């Protein structure tokens, strides 16, 4: 998991609540990504950011929001508009010598009660 931390490891949300997932990195990487993984499935891109104060929607951005105020941090907010938020959320970065390889955090498992 390298220098990427995600918190919390487990998160429970009541319907109608917004929750924010944390992703922090000390790798000095420019690009950061948020993915959603459903059981037995691959990863789907939610949002990504190539540089501070800039981010773009991925394939499934509806019901999610992000910010990139600092290079080290890329928090993801799951809003009440996301109708089926129960999933495993993974944050990743690229940078340094290779911009092709992605480095992943340990993930946050979100469950809606």
Partner 1 sequence: SQQGEEDPQALSIQEGENATMNCSYKTSINNLQWYRQNSGRGLVHLILIRSNEREKHSGRLRVTLDTSKKSSSLLITASRAADTASYFCATGPVKAAGNKLTFGGGTRVLVKP
Comparing CA positions, the residue from 27, 39, 41, 47 lying closest to residue 104 is 27
Q: Does 1 bind partner 1 (CB under 8 A)?
A: yes
Q: 67 phi and psi, to 5 degrees? A: -145, 155
Member of 74, 107, 110, 112 binding partner 1 (CB under 8 A): 107
Q: What element of type H or E holds 2?
A: none
Q: 13 phi and psi, to 5 degrees? A: -130, 140
Tell me the C-alpha distance between 83 and 64, whole Å: 11
Query: In sequence order, what are the beta bridge partners of 111?
Result: 12
**What part of residues 58-97 is at the interface with partner 1 (CB under 8 A)?**
58, 88, 90, 92, 94
Member of 52, 77, 80, 104 binding partner 1 (CB under 8 A): 104
Q: Does 101 bind partner 1 (CB under 8 A)?
A: yes
**Which CB, 18 or 59, lies closer to partner 1?**
59
Residues that bind partner 1 (CB under 8 A): 1, 4, 31, 33, 35, 40-45, 48, 50, 56, 58, 88, 90, 92, 94, 98-107, 109
């Amino acid at each position: 998991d390298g220098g990427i931390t995600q918190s919390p490891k487990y998160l429970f949300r009541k319907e109608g609540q917004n929750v924010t997932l944390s992703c922090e990195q000390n790798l000095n990487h420019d690009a950061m990504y948020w993915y959603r993984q459903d059981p037995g499935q691959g990863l789907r891109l939610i949002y990504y950011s190539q540089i501070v104060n800039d981010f773009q929607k991925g394939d499934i951005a509806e019901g999610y929001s992000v910010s990139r105020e600092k290079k080290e941090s890329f928090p993801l907010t799951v809003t009440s508009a996301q109708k089926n938020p129960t999933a495993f959320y993974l944050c990743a970065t690229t940078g340094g010598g290779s911009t092709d390889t992605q480095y992943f955090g340990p993930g946050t498992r979100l469950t809606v009660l």
